[in-house]
Amino acid sequence: MTEQTGGRRVVTNMSLSLDGRYAGRDPLDMSWVMPYAHTDVARDHMAALQETATTALLGRVNAEGFLGFWPTVIGAEGVDPRDESFAEWLVGTDKVVLSSTLTDAPWERTTVVDKPTADVVAELTATEGGDILVLSSASVIKALLAADRVDRLALTVFPVLLGDGPRLFDDGLPAGRWSLAGQAAGEHGTLSLVYDRVR
């Protein structure tokens, strides 16, 4: 049975290869993701996560990538409605960007914070609101896993072996049990998996 400890849930989302990597040797090369990111499973997965989230939490690199790209999707010809819905959510929701180098946020509804990840999440979970959604920011997710501050772990698994590159799950993470809260399989072998932390 899954129990909520009170306050807002921290939900992390990441795409992984079959060998548990979130990137290959070149972390900026996301070509391995693209054939699968446009599947119904992947799009429905993101749509479900944004439904309950009222805050996006990102590292600086991902913030620059996400907030540079997604606003351009709004109103674009032929765009999938789920992609446009996510783009509108991202633009319109409160965003917290963790950075030691940014001083001002170049994006609307965005706060830049230079504090340890776990401290920022502790402050956010003490406020009112929906889920805090961490969007594919590996450094943020790793810090939250190490601090045992993830309430829901959402993964899309793509049927590729990268063979090299960083892994999401490092040795030495706190032991713990998780319950399967959702799963879906779709075209090209894409899997959507959602686990809730059992506390």
Question: With bands split at pLDDT 50, 70 and 90, how would you rate the model's confidence at 6?
Answer: low
- The DSSP 8-state label assigned to residue 102 in this structure reads -
CA distance 123 to 178: 24
Q: Does a structural domain hold residue 39?
A: yes
Q: Which two tokens stand for residue 58?
A: 């990102």
Do β-strands 53-59 and 94-98 pair in parallel, antiparallel, or remain unpaired? parallel
Cα 7 versus chain centre, distance: 19
* Residue 5 maps to a domain: no
Average pLDDT on 26-53 reads 92
Rounded CA separation 87/67 (Å): 9
Tell whether 3 is covered by a domain: no
CATH number, position 173: 3.40.430.10
d(CA 25, CA 9): 32
**Hey, what amino acid is at 73?**
V
Contact between residue 46 and residue 125 where contact means Cβ atoms under 8 Å apart: no
124-169 pLDDT per residue, tens? 999 999 999 999 999 999 999 999 999 999 999 999 999 999 999 9
| Structure confidence by residue, pLDDT tens digits, 45-72 | 999 999 999 999 999 998 998 888 999 9
Q: Which domain holds residue 76?
A: 10-198
In a domain, 103, yes or no: yes
Q: Flag whether 149 is in a domain.
A: yes
Which amino acid type is present at position 116? P
Tally the domains of the chain.
1
For residue 168, tell me if it sits in a domain: yes
Residue 87 lies in a domain: yes
Judge whether 38 lies within some domain: yes
